[in-house]
Structure 1
Amino acid sequence: MAGRVQFELVTPERVLAAEEADLVVVPGGDGNFGVLPGHAPLLSTLRPGVVDIYQGDKITSRIFVAGGFAEVAEDRFTVLADEAQAVEDIDDAAAAERLSRARDALTRAQGSDEDVAAAEAELAVAEALAVATGAH
């Protein structure tokens, strides 16, 4: 359909979204960006955050992504997410617990830079998840 973006969000486990949208805004590695019909081809990393899917001028779906990649092609927009979940399905208590565990893991991370980097990456995901749910 002309004037719409064919959007698909895929995780390693399943297709979480496959729909036409008027606008999709994603948390790109260099900042949020929106994709409208006719967007120039683009490949971007994703940082932890929320994908907003618009129908008209209203957000109809919000999906948390932990990271991944986004590809804009002539006729479609695809997000390949490491982990994703509809924001309304996120358990606030579980998000708060994940944030607490991530903070503890970073405090305990010692030795290799790899351990610290992994703990920092998990903390970034947990913080974004907590912000998405208001559990921070």
Structure 2
Amino acid sequence: MAATISVFIVAPDQTLWSGTARSVSAPTVEGSIGLLAQHEPVLSVLRAGTVAVVADDGARTELPITGGFLSFDEDTVTIVTDPGSGVAAAE
């Protein structure tokens, strides 16, 4: 079984997605970032775009965001998005 990461994607008023995943990609102000287990710690500002999560069962979820920030440390990624962000497509 592939190594997984814990993912928490939240807006100020709700949790948009949480669980374990194989990978997460997100649009940062410096370009796209892809995160896998054992990635070095990172803190980044997000720009408008789409966060893609590949869950540990292989299901893909895409969430449009308007901005926010991302924190990754010890195989846990937390993404805090601006109000109005949400799920666009799953699977």
If the TM-score is normalised by the length of the shorter chain, which range does it land in? 0.7 to 0.9
Q: Deviations over 1:25-56 (max 9, x none)?
A: 00011011101000110000000000011136
Q: Deviating runs (4+, > 6 A) in structure 1?
A: none
Bigger relative CO (Cα 8 Å, ≥ 6 apart): 2
Q: Indicate the structure with greater helix content.
A: 1
Choose 1 or 2 for highest CA Rg: 1
Give the superposed CA RMSD.
Answer: 1.9
2:24 is aligned with 1:24: yes
How many residue pairs end up in the alignment? 87
Unaligned runs of 5+ in 2: none
Q: Indicate the structure with greater strand content.
A: 2
Aligned to 1:72: 72
Distance of 2:50 and 2:75 partners within structure 1? 23
Kindly indicate whether the alpha-carbon contact (under 8 Å) linking 1:3 and 1:22 is maintained by their aligned counterparts in 2: yes
Report the identity percentage: 30
TM-score by length of 2: 0.87
Unaligned runs of 5+ in 1: 89-136
Aligned to 1:85: 86
